[in-house]
Amino acid sequence: MKKELEELKNAYCDAKTETELEEISTRVKELAQSDREAFSDAMVEMAADTAQRATELSVKAQLKDVLPTLSMAYIAKNYFNRTSQWLYQRINGNEVNGKPAKFTDEELATLEAALKDISEKIGSVSFS
């Protein structure tokens, strides 16, 4: 059911006429009535996927201005014990093994702590 709903969502985004939108709406209603539980489960899963994607886009947007000034290799190595490619895959949501790479909640907390730590290190610099 989720796959069919994803296809309908994409068709809705691509629809050009009111007739197309009405046909999609009718099909969604038919799916909802055919198996309410599966429909509900699929909608909840799609909402969770959307929320996760929004978080990932938010991370990238929030880092937009600082990415050019920071060494992602340094952050990846010193805070995650990973490569810069690993970090960029998550920041950009690149596809890895057929799925978009994403941060776990723990990794997001680590990234936030890393940025705060770096900020404090920079802020402690003073010239006499």
Give mean pLDDT, residues 52-65. Answer: 79
**Does residue 26 sit in the same domain as residue 69?**
no
CA angle 20, 47, 34 (to 5 degrees): 60
Give mean pLDDT, residues 96-103. Answer: 88
* pLDDT for the residue numbered 93: 85
Residue 109: inside a domain, yes or no? yes
Which comes out higher in pLDDT, residue 47 or 75? Answer: 75
Query: Rounded to the nearest 10 degrees, what angle do helices 36-63 and 2-14 cross at?
Result: 60
Residue 60: inside a domain, yes or no? no
Residue 1 identity (one-letter amino acid): M
Residue 97 identity (one-letter amino acid): N
pTM: 0.59
Give mean pLDDT, residues 46-70. Answer: 82
Instruction: Tell me which residue range forms the domain holding 71.
Output: 65-128
